[in-house]
């Protein structure tokens, strides 16, 4: 979690360095929603309507950099969040902070609508306890990843003042580092107010450059070492380490389009707990998979969305198909930072914390 927090604030700092002051805003937004019982075993948790509040500091990037222009000058910033969680007796309250980026797709003078992606850290006040809170099947760790995805609109009635509205889904999860971990999904409608401090506008824009190359040229090779941990049922049991190597090739085809494909080599020690009566060895639990992913580039930061299949998975404990969603950050010296969630459809497997290297990287 500490590495994740450092990574989020590093990304926010990089965004700020690339920007030219134009529009810094302070926002306050009440949100109203409910707890979505995405599993049948969570039906007893929904009791109260959810009321939350977000306080946000945002900045619109009016940069001469290509990446900001090609995304229609996105908003970046940080949001502080707090709410009840739909059941005060069992779940308590949730608080957190997350960094975000918003991409405009309706971009008028008075009305702007954006798609929002965000990630950060959250705190849940009441978690699973086998003696005092055994009905909480959703969350077992107080510190969790906090994600928020949705749409947000800004209706400007003056240069400084705007009405903001949103529809989003907020999510708490610990990526199976501790069980139970069904997670919390909360759809929200929000309405609030934003005040903007207008700054100096930048009228100069660097022309966008799109370089087309043959498909089989300019691929980069990456090697990432991954470490994680996972807890399996019964609750309160041992945390098992996970070691993996992610090797892949990547290429950027257009300003907003990239691709990667490669192989995963995984040693997931929790498989020794699966059908424990079957004798196992390190080689028998060793998994090999191959995958492909779509890459959305933002300068040195890359968002990754991929799907893979196991080539070697002797015990088939989860599913033959796995998924990968997360972020990679490319450093100038070739180092590659990796924060990715590996899952099997809607079920989290583990978080991939990794450091790697790009062998043929050029600035």
Q: At residue 75, does pLDDT exceed 70?
A: yes
Confidence band (pLDDT; 50, 70, 90) for 3? Answer: very low
Mean pLDDT of the chain: 88
CA distance 270 to 166: 40
CA distance 327 to 318: 24
Q: Give me the mean pLDDT over the 97-114 stretch.
A: 94
CA distance 319 to 348: 12
Q: Cβ distance 34 to 49 under 8 Å?
A: yes
Q: Which residue has the tokens 């790009």?
A: 358
What tens digit of pLDDT does each residue of 272-320 get?
989 888 999 999 999 999 999 999 998 889 999 999 999 999 998 888 9
Q: At residue 19, does pLDDT exceed 50?
A: no
What tens digit of pLDDT does each residue of 339-349 get?
999 998 878 88
Percent of the chain whose pLDDT exceeds 70: 88
Identify the pLDDT of residue 331.
94
What tens digit of pLDDT does each residue of 258-269 get?
999 999 999 999
Q: Give me the mean pLDDT over the 42-61 stretch.
A: 93
Query: 11-20, 76-85, 243-252, 313-322: which range is least confident on average?
Result: 11-20
Identify the pLDDT of residue 114.
97
Q: Cβ distance 38 to 176 under 8 Å?
A: no
Percent of the chain whose pLDDT exceeds 90: 66
Which of the two residues, 359 and 210, has the higher pLDDT score? Answer: 359
Identify the pLDDT of residue 317.
85
Helix (H, G, I), strand (E, B) or coil at 194: strand
Query: 136-140, 147-151, 174-178, 214-218: which range is least confident on average?
Result: 214-218
Confidence band (pLDDT; 50, 70, 90) for 210? Answer: low
End-to-end CA distance of the chain: 29
């Amino acid at each position: 979690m500490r590495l994740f927090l450092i990574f989020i604030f590093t990304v926010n700092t990089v965004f700020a360095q690339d920007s030219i002051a134009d529009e810094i805003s302070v926002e306050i937004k009440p949100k109203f929603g409910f707890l979505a019982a995405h599993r049948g075993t969570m039906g007893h948790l929904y009791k109260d309507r959810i009321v939350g509040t977000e306080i946000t500091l945002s900045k619109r990037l009016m940069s001469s950099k290509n990446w900001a222009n090609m995304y229609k000058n996105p908003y970046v910033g940080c949001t502080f969040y707090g709410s009840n969680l739909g059941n005060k007796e069992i779940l308590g309250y949730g608080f957190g902070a997350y960094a975000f980026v918003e991409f405009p797709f309706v971009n008028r003078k008075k009305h702007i609508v954006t798609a929002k992606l965000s990630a950060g850290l959250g705190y849940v006040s009441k978690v699973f306890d086998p003696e005092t809170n055994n009905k909480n099947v959703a969350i077992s760790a107080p510190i969790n990843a906090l994600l928020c995805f949705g749409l947000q609109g800004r209706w400007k009635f003056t240069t400084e003042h705007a009405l903001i509205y949103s529809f989003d889904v907020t999510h708490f999860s610990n990526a199976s580092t501790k069980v139970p971990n069904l997670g919390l999904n909360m759809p929200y409608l929000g309405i609030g107010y934003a005040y903007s401090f207008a700054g100096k506008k930048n009228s100069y824009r660097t022309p966008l450059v799109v370089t087309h190359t043959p498909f089989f040229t300019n691929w980069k090779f990456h090697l990432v070492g991954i470490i994680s941990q996972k807890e399996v049922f019964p609750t309160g049991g041992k945390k098992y380490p996970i070691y993996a190597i992610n090797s892949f090739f990547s290429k950027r085809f257009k300003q907003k389009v990239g691709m990667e494909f490669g192989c995963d080599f995984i040693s997931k020690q929790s498989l020794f707990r699966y059908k424990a009566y079957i004798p196992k060895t390190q080689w028998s639990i060793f998994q090999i998979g191959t995958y492909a992913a779509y890459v959305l580039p933002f300068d040195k930061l890359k968002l990754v969305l991929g799907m893979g299949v196991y080539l070697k998975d002797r015990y088939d404990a989860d599913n033959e198909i796995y998924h990968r969603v997360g972020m990679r950050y490319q450093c100038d010296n070739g180092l590659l930072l990796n924060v990715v969630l590996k899952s099997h459809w809607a079920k989290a497997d583990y978080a991939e914390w990794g450091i790697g290297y790009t062998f043929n990287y050029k600035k």
